[in-house]
Structure 1
Amino acid sequence: MTDMRMRADPSSGYPGRTYRFYTGPKVYEFGYGLSYSKYSYKFVSVAKNNIQFDQSSTHLMVENSETVRYKLVSELSEETCQSMSFSVTLGVTNHGSMMGKHPVLLFMRQTKHRHGNPIKHLVGFKSVKLDGGERSEVRFKLNPCEHFSIANEAGLKVIEEGSYLLLAGEEEYPLYIII
């Protein structure tokens, strides 16, 4: 109870805390519990597949002989961050026979997980009420500076170049950040 580190430490067997870093066994994934209905998701539209930043003030980090390019969020203007925002529309279907209120959770994760980075990261959530057999669409607005940034081990918010996945239930949608 006195160890409140968030990140997992494989050398000591410490599993980490929160859904973002915990590597131990789970009874339920974060946000998924019991329900009388079964829900499915489908990415209807994603306004951008590639998110491209300008080449100025790019930083490099070397980890395990691999070079990772990144941007410091603190060096990006609010206008730049807002201009890069984009929308994601998810179709949600209630496959059960009963009406239900359901939390729609949208996550992001890097396709190549690096030590110290979150396993996945919640980028949006909305609640939807659907009758049995009903389908609806839920829209999220994502801002790369807010939703795709992580706090590195030095505590600085950074956006790393590379492949990412948007996740909703079992559905995945690929994105790429170019720096």
Structure 2
Amino acid sequence: MTDMRMRADPSSGYPGRTYRFYTGPKVYEFGYGLSYSKYSYNFISVKNNNLHINQSTTHSILENSETIRYKLVSELGEETCKAMPVSVSLGVTNNGSMAGKHPVLLFVKHKKGRNGNPVKQLVGFESVTVEAGQRGKVGFEVNVCDLVSRANESGVKVIEEGDYLLSVGEEEYSINVTL
């Protein structure tokens, strides 16, 4: 209880804390529990899935002989972050025999799970009521800085270049960030 590290440490066997960094065994994934119905998802559309951020200075670090380019969110500014929203439209199918109100959780994760990056990060959630055997629709609009930024080891929010995965349940959709 006195260990407040968030990130997992494989060398000591420490599994990490919170859904963002925990790598140990789970009874239920974060946000998924018991329900009287079973739901499935599909991505209907993702607008702005190839993001090109070309403002301000680009920084880079060398990690395991790989150069990682990144930008500081503070250098981008709030207007730039809001000007590039990613719009996601999802279909939600109730495959069970009972109607239900279901929380749809949208996560993002870096495709290459590098040390220090969250396993996944919640970027949006919305409840939808779906009748038995029917399909509903839910939408998300997330600004780019909330979607693909992370706190680095110094606690500074950065956006790293690369491929990311949007995920809902078992479904994934690839987005790309270039700097």
TM-score (normalizing by structure 1): 0.97
Cα distance in 1 for residues equivalent to 2:95 and 2:76:
43
Gapped regions of structure 1 (runs ≥ 5)? none
How many residue pairs get aligned? The number is: 179
Cα distance in 1 for residues equivalent to 2:80 and 2:130:
37
Deviation at 1:56, TM superposition (A): 3.6
Correspondence list, 1:29-178, <5 A: 29-54=29-54, 56-178=56-178
The amino acid of 2:41's aligned partner reads Y
The amino acid of 2:125's aligned partner reads F
The amino acid of 1:35's aligned partner reads S
Gapped regions of structure 2 (runs ≥ 5)? none
The amino acid of 1:66's aligned partner reads E
Give the secondary-structure state (helix, strand or coil) at the position aligned to 1:167: strand
Contact 2:106 2:166 survives alignment (8 Å): yes
Cα distance in 1 for residues equivalent to 2:129 and 2:49:
29
Cα distance in 1 for residues equivalent to 2:56 and 2:87:
26
Cα distance in 2 for residues equivalent to 1:27 and 1:53:
39
Cα distance in 2 for residues equivalent to 1:119 and 1:127:
23
Cα distance in 1 for residues equivalent to 2:109 and 2:131:
31
Deviation at 1:86, TM superposition (A): 2.4
Structure 1 segments of 4+ aligned residues over 6 angstroms from their partners: none
Cα distance in 1 for residues equivalent to 2:16 and 2:177:
27
Cα distance in 1 for residues equivalent to 2:59 and 2:47:
27
Deviation at 1:78, TM superposition (A): 1.5
